[in-house]
Copies of this chain bind each other. A is one copy, B any other.
Amino acid sequence: MSDIVLPGPFHSLQWMGSTDTLEDSDIVIVGLPYDGTCSYRPGSRFAPQAIREASYGLETYSPISKKDLENIRFYDGGDLSFPFGNRDETLAIIRKNAQAVVTAGKKWVGIGGEHLVTLPAVEAYLDKYPDLAILHFDAHGDLRDDYMGEKLSHATVIRRVADRVGPERLVQIGIRSGPQEEFDWMHQHRTLLEQIEQVPIGREKLKHHPVFLTIDLDVLDPSVLPGTGTPEPGGMQFTELMSWLMAFKGLNFVGADVIELAPDYDASGVSTAVATKVLREVLLLL
């Protein structure tokens, strides 16, 4: 496992309850502080550290899933270090680390950063699991083919993912903003679940595949999570997101990420508290 280049505990506060070493873990948390293609409000680079701090105010027991984090073996590998301004090198660093984690038989849990960080993780998984499927929570489809001339952007990332896994293995929930073409695309490919009653459709699509779960936190209503780059009114309450997640329990989740918290836009700290609790439930779901 010598390829893993995670910075480790000496350079970063660790999520409360992290195992002491990577070796004795089943899940590896990795901070991905990149927000370089963000066109509107940057700041998701500060999310991993903010979430770690908030983890010390979180109960390990979840009355939602009735499980306890203390029974999960996860290791917090710290934040990856990126050359700011160089997108392609940044993506290569993420991919290399994700490959090392996947190869070691552990589950990757990325903390974004912006949504583009999902792409190299998915690519790393596809090497091992060519039939990987995607469960995607978001306010935005992120389905543009290019954005301001760029193929690799937070606004194109799920389109790039769909290029690789195929739309038939993509399930999308919560999308409520975008150009008409994106809604047409989702309609054509039937990727979007609009109500929780449609969960069985989604489970059917995902049940025979290893599943990567990617949660863009702006799927929540901005009243619940104001601290994000592109707040979109009209989203889910926290308990609704929990209901959706619980409804997918039992799938073969092999990895996940939680992205687009921008903690500095919410001075009350509530957005970070929400993100931390979402991450706890993701860890318990895996």
Residues of A within 8 A of B (CB): 9-14, 18, 20, 35-43, 45, 49, 53, 57, 59-61, 63-64, 68, 81-87, 89, 116, 148-150, 152-153, 176-180, 183, 221-224, 226-227, 230-234, 237-239, 242, 265-270, 273-274, 277
Contact = CB atoms under 8 A, between A and B. Distances in A.
A16 to B, nearest CB: 8
B148 A83 contact: yes
Contacts of A64: 234
A233 B13 contact: no
A268 B265 contact: yes
A224 B233 contact: yes
A206 to B, nearest CB: 24
Main secondary structure of the interface of A (DSSP, over half): loop
A1 B277 CA distance: 39
Contact of A84 (B153, B224, B227, B277): B153
B35 A149 contact: no
Contacts of A221: 223-224, 237-238
Given A37-B85, A87-B85, A267-B267, A180 B61 contact: yes
A32 to B, nearest CB: 15
Given A148-B84, A239-B234, A273-B232, A35 B42 contact: yes
Q: Closest 9 A-B residue pairs measured CB to CB?
A: A37-B85, A226-B268, A13-B13, A223-B223, A222-B270, A42-B42, A233-B238, A85-B87, A226-B270
5 contacts: A59-B177, A84-B153, A223-B237, A234-B238, A265-B268
Contacts of A81: 148
Contacts of A226: 266, 268-270
